[in-house]
Structure formats: C-alpha cells, structure tokens
Amino acid sequence: MRILQALGWYYPENVGGSEIYVSALSKLLAGMGHDLCIAAPLAGIESPRTYTHDGLNVYRYPIPSNPTRDEGRGRRPTRGAEFFRQWLVDLQPDVAHFHSIVTGMGLTEMRAAKATGADSAVHSERGSSMR
C-alpha cells in the first residue's frame, strides 16, 4: 500500500513532536512492507525537492515566506502548493494521512488527495481522527 504522510514541517529544517511521531510511524509502516512518502511545504525554496531522511522519502514544495492574508486563512490556494497537488496526481497514494493543517497544507490539498482516489484522514497528535 502506498501511504502519504503529510504535515506542515519536517526534518531537517524542523524538529518537533509531529516530525518525531510521523518519522516513527512511517518507519513502522515501511517495516510492514508499505511504500511510504512524506510531504511538507517549505517556505522560501524556489522549486520542489526530494530527498531521503533517515531512510524515508521526503517531498518538499515551495510556499511563500510571506503568504497573503487569504492564503494564510485558507481562502485561496497557497502559491506553490500546486506543486504538491501535481505530485499527488503522479504519486497516486492509496492513503493520505494529514497530520496538520497549515498554510500550503490545507483543505485544498486534502481535496486534491481525495480526488486521486486516496482514502484520507486528518489526525491530531492528541488522538482524534476524522475521514
């Protein structure tokens, strides 16, 4: 099964609870034979980049360092997030698991994941989940 783990921040630029949790969960799922991909926006980069961090495939896509008010509030898609949406079409995940809602990783991106046919869920590290 191809599983996308999507969150607002990731290694090596950011280190925190969500990054630790997603990394551990992804390693566990990969060890069970699943194909894992991690995606997160990154403010200030010019173009998307992919890399491997601690054995996991990571996709980072550009968003503006200074989003507009409408982008920050999710009223319009964030500039740069179109790279993520196109990457989803190419990736075709079976499951898209969203761990945070932030600028560049919001409802537009969740809908894009759903449009690929992926089952999707939003998860809070406090344990609640919705589909």
- Predicted confidence at residue 122, as pLDDT, reads 58
Q: What is the Cα–Cα distance from 107 to 103, expressed in whole angstroms?
A: 10
Q: What is the Cα–Cα distance from 33 to 105, expressed in whole angstroms?
A: 27
Region 95-110: mean pLDDT is 91
- In one-letter notation, the amino acid at residue 66 is N
In this structure, the number of other CB atoms found within 10 A of the CB of residue 65 comes to 9
Q: What is the Cα–Cα distance from 48 to 25, expressed in whole angstroms?
A: 24
- Predicted confidence at residue 129, as pLDDT, reads 42
- Please write the tens of the pLDDT for every residue from 42-94: 998 999 999 999 999 999 999 999 999 998 888 899 999 899 999 999 999 99
The domains of the chain, with CATH numbers, are: 9-68+80-123 (3.40.50)
- Please write the tens of the pLDDT for every residue from 2-44: 999 999 999 988 788 788 999 999 999 999 999 999 999 999 8
Q: What is the Cα–Cα distance from 101 to 57, expressed in whole angstroms?
A: 21
